[in-house]
Amino acid sequence: MQTASVPGFVRTILIIVGVYYAFKILARILMPILLRKMVQKAEQNFKQHTNYQNQADNHSTTQNSSSTFEKPKAKKQVGEYIDYEEVD
């Protein structure tokens, strides 16, 4: 049975700590760039969506402009209203 050596354990701990700090440094450098790209992409999608929606609205208003604006039909009343009294 082999036993773990102290220098090997210390080396492993140093590698883990080094990778952790390297990740932290890279994240600080790269995160603002990635976030900026994500915001630009979301803005672009939003603009495309609003342009498409505006085009659809313009198309529907040109079709509706020729027809008269009608009031919505009243809902059909089903049954009759019965008022109950309490009896002592």
21-27 mean pLDDT: 96
pLDDT band, residue 78 (cuts 50/70/90): confident
> What pLDDT was estimated at residue 50?
84
Out of 27-31, 42-46, 50-54, 62-66, which region has the weakest mean confidence (pLDDT)? 62-66
Report the b/e string of 24-59 with b at 16+ CB within 10 A. Answer: eeeeeeeeeeeeeeeeeeeeeeeeeeeeeeeeeeee
> What pLDDT was estimated at residue 72?
66
Residue type, 41: K
Residue 38 has pLDDT above 80, yes or no: yes
* pTM of the predicted structure, to 2 decimals: 0.43
